[in-house]
Structure 1
């Protein structure tokens, strides 16, 4: 599936691009009319990522909409003018979009119900239409058909969410660094003075070792691009040509450099600072460095703010002072990611969470003890009941023995013993042996 570049990068939906060595001879050859290799989609991180992708994929099957998409600019996409073209797409496209929306509404309903169930709320009969209003990427008032408003909401919401994505990544990294420092201090605090001094010395040595890396070129500078041209592309640095460089690294040939294509250019610079085999190098810091480099280029090169670098923007950037004489690039180790005040607030937050977890653990422990006590009480009641049943059965047997009645079973049925049966049989046999003889006149006479 191939997406329109403007919409593609506006929504940060693009293929994974890896920078690979390129033959110098291949750079001078005419491009062949061969289909591009299959592209692997990158998850945007949005909770409606699948819905977003499927909608774009269906829209691009319509020739009219695809044509409008090819000629639209980022402003047309952002202001909703492109959404009006939805009324002109084919019936089969609208039918498929309606189906996608109903599936998305059904998925959101399931999520809402699961959330309500997990919170043990009693109001499970709440209006789903009102609950769906919290999801901004679709029109909750129309849950059956996909209209122009749905496309407008989907694009605007995705654009807004993705614009905040980098800021959220920076915040996550800051919290990661503060947690790492917190754990370091806690570890040192638990050691005696001699071991603590030894560990502090070791940590400082690793930190200094990490800082002893080669100079890092500023992203997008002539020095940085020449290095890629020579070491990655295998070309003569004296023949560096910005236009050729752009075309070489526009790997999907869509006329722009997207975020993934740009980040692929920083690999050589990052390798100067970070090595996964080194104990002192943190790969999480490497990804933060990559993000900073990409943002630096976007800030200085992406003139229209569409999160794309066009050929015209790229060539204009090569004429600036920052391209030929940039400031030295400062890596993460040159500036802390947080202040001491931020660290203290973070540690206070951790302590509050720890206290809350302790309270919950204590509550669970008390509930467990209560269940154990209830279990013991139930077991005692069961034994008392069994004892009462045995005593009642024994008293019944004793009463039956006094009254001369045959013993009864556990359910009150009569229970006859074998000895009584034998005695009755013997008595019957004895009576049969004492039957009187017939009188003499009844005897037959014999001649």
Structure 2
């Protein structure tokens, strides 16, 4: 992944990865970059060697100051995880249960929990491999989140229809179909990463003559951090013009969550087509090679989200069954809680009655 492969020159340029250990990853990167030997090795090592752990072995040669700081960072991270584990136990009602931190820390594969005091070669190897694996799965998880979002939106729509009478239901359905048709009626969306798409950016965003389009100049214009690569954020920025053909942020009926999913699909497509060494960065050489391919000059049409439903009918059926089961479980819990409340109230009334009876007995005894 580009963060592991390039380890940006300053942490200010590193974009939030979305990982739960993002801060730890950033801080380790920052201090390793400060060691000249490691920095040189890093920028002369290819991605495959990094993934195989060859770079991690260079940790033995970094300065004592850097190693000391890395030890401190690891101790802080282990303490953070222990605090989170304890807080989770407390929330789950396990206050009286002894917490086996070592057992629970096993789930955090990005550090060696058996040695919580010093940052070793194994820690760097684990961090690189975990971040690489987790970031590769990140887009997949985002797609799954979007699928659930779309199914919930459809579920809510169906539930709303059930509350309407026949006439209003018919009007609502007609409005829904009209909005779908209106949304699908937009200018042609250029194939992401194609010559037509990039020329449109060149002309409309850069204000340049499309006849003067030059791939190398285009690359340099949109390599905003000047590192010689298109990272994922720089690529996604290129699709804004295409997305504006489909989505209008000022229109409340246009779903911005769907717009970001479309942006993600476009970026993934270009990465798959252009990123030949699969380091999730597009170098100038990779970009120029892609501009010479037939797909760049004569691309297939791009199918937008409205032409590719995010879920199948079977998935929707299973989703609604799951929601129904969840609702049933919640209702049962509510019934059980009410029973417990009624029982506690009955016991309290019984205790009150016993208390009154004891007071009466006490009073009678005193009178005697």
TM range (shorter): over 0.9
Contact conserved, 1:301 with 1:313, CA < 8 A, in 2? yes
Q: Is 2:265 the counterpart of 1:292?
A: yes
Contact conserved, 1:7 with 1:74, CA < 8 A, in 2? no
> Residues 313-352 of structure 1 correspond to what in structure 2 (within 5 A)?
313-352=286-325
Match of 1:8 in 2: 3
Deviation sequence 1:175-219 (CA, Å, 0-9, x none): 111111111112112222111111111111111111111111011
Secondary structure of the structure 2 residue equivalent to 1:134: coil
Q: Distance in 2 between matches of 1:14 and 1:173?
A: 30
Match of 2:235 in 1: 262
Q: Distance in 2 between matches of 1:333 and 1:145?
A: 52
Q: Distance in 2 between matches of 1:383 and 1:316?
A: 92
Deviation sequence 1:114-162 (CA, Å, 0-9, x none): 3333444598345432332221101122111100110000010110011
Q: CA deviation at 1:393?
A: 3.1
Secondary structure of the structure 1 residue equivalent to 2:190: coil
Q: 1:110 aligns with which of 83, 100, 123?
A: 83
Contact conserved, 2:53 with 2:125, CA < 8 A, in 1? yes
Contact conserved, 1:217 with 1:223, CA < 8 A, in 2? yes
Q: 1:281 aligns with which of 226, 229, 254?
A: 254
Q: Is 2:16 the counterpart of 1:43?
A: yes
Secondary structure of the structure 1 residue equivalent to 2:238: helix
Q: CA deviation at 1:305?
A: 0.3
Match of 1:364 in 2: 337
Q: How many residues align?
A: 368
Q: Is 2:48 the counterpart of 1:82?
A: no
Q: 1:136 aligns with which of 102, 109, 119?
A: 109
Q: CA deviation at 1:67?
A: 1.6
- The TM-score normalised by the length of structure 1 is 0.78
Q: Is 2:94 the counterpart of 1:99?
A: no
Match of 1:71 in 2: 44
Q: Distance in 2 between matches of 1:322 and 1:74?
A: 27
**CA separation of 1:368 and 1:206: change in aligned 2, threshold 3 A:** same
> Residues 390-405 of structure 1 correspond to what in structure 2 (within 5 A)?
390-395=363-368
Q: Is 2:237 the counterpart of 1:242?
A: no
Match of 1:416 in 2: none
Q: Distance in 2 between matches of 1:282 and 1:10?
A: 34
Secondary structure of the structure 2 residue equivalent to 1:201: helix
Contact conserved, 1:69 with 1:82, CA < 8 A, in 2? yes
Q: 2:31 aligns with which of 52, 58, 61?
A: 58
Q: Distance in 2 between matches of 1:116 and 1:393?
A: 52
- The TM-score normalised by the length of structure 2 is 0.94
Match of 1:164 in 2: 137
The structure having more radius of gyration, on CA atoms, is: 1
Secondary structure of the structure 1 residue equivalent to 2:71: helix
Match of 2:178 in 1: 205
- Unpaired segments ≥5 residues, structure 1: 1-5, 16-35, 396-447
Instruction: Looking at secondary structure, tell me which structure has more helix per residue.
Output: 2
- Unpaired segments ≥5 residues, structure 2: none
Q: Distance in 2 between matches of 1:348 and 1:105?
A: 40
Match of 1:309 in 2: 282
Contact conserved, 1:209 with 1:280, CA < 8 A, in 2? no
